[in-house]
């Protein structure tokens, strides 16, 4: 994974997305359509590696879209970065299965810690930004992990697309 051709994602959990992340809502359908278009734009600029932090909500949507694009875009790769190895198991059964499916198809899975610790998700965000030159996000101005990741990416001058402004 070369940072010069790597883009990461940041965005909130479902509760902070429009319509609580309801994937059948017009707002989330539009968000996913715009996310797909942004991914293709970054690919067309030469980006090949796409890092997902694998959180439920925006991160998972992004990872699934990268996997969908593998049949269309030669050389596109998904890198899943887990803050700790048991992170995917801390969700509903449906989400655990969904994450497991994504992880099984990812080109690389990186776990930054064996166990949860306070600040592990913050550390994951720093890792993703430090290993990227682009970021696609859904940053709605609210404080939290997405805000920290988005602001850190701005400090590091990553090329950015904020999908909050697109729906």
Mean pLDDT, residues 126-155 taken together:
95
* CATH class name, domain 3-166: alpha beta
**Helix, strand, or coil (residue 134):** strand
Q: How far apart are CA 51 and CA 48, in angstroms?
A: 10
Tell me the pLDDT tens digit for each residue of 59-94: 999 999 999 999 999 999 999 999 998 887 777 788
In 3D space, the residue among 25, 32, 16 whose CA is nearest the CA of residue 163 turns out to be 32
Across 33-138, the runs of DSSP E, i.e. the strands, are 49-52, 77-82, 108-111, 134-137
Query: Are the C-beta atoms of 13 and 57 separated by less than 8 Å?
Result: yes
Residue 12 corresponds to which tokens in the numbers above? 């909130």
Determine which helix (DSSP H) or strand (DSSP E) holds 161, and give its type and residue range. Answer: strand 159-162
**Helix, strand, or coil (residue 81):** strand
Tell me the pLDDT tens digit for each residue of 9-44: 999 999 899 999 999 999 999 999 999 999 999 999
Q: How far apart are CA 19 and CA 12, in angstroms?
A: 13
Residue 42 corresponds to which tokens in the numbers above? 């970054």
DSSP state of 87: G
Domain boundaries, the chain: 3-166
Looking at every residue in the chain, the average pLDDT score rounds to: 94
CB atoms within 10 A of CB 26: 11
């Amino acid at each position: 994974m070369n940072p010069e051709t790597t883009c990461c994602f940041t965005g909130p959990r479902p509760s902070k997305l429009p319509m609580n992340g309801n994937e059948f809502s017009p707002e989330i359908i539009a968000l996913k359509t715009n996310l797909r278009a942004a991914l293709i734009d970054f690919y067309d600029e030469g980006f090949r590696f796409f890092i997902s932090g694998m959180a439920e909500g925006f991160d998972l949507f992004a990872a699934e879209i990268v996997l969908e694009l593998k049949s269309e875009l030669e050389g596109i790769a998904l890198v899943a970065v887990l803050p700790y190895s048991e992170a995917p198991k801390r969700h509903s059964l449906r989400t655990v299965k969904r994450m497991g499916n994504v992880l099984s198809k990812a080109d690389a899975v990186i776990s930054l810690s064996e166990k949860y610790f306070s600040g592990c998700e913050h550390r994951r965000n720093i890792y993703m930004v430090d290993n990227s030159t682009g970021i696609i996000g859904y940053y709605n101005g609210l404080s939290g992990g997405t805000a920290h990741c988005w602001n850190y990416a701005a400090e590091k001058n990553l090329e950015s697309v904020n999908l909050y402004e697109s729906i």
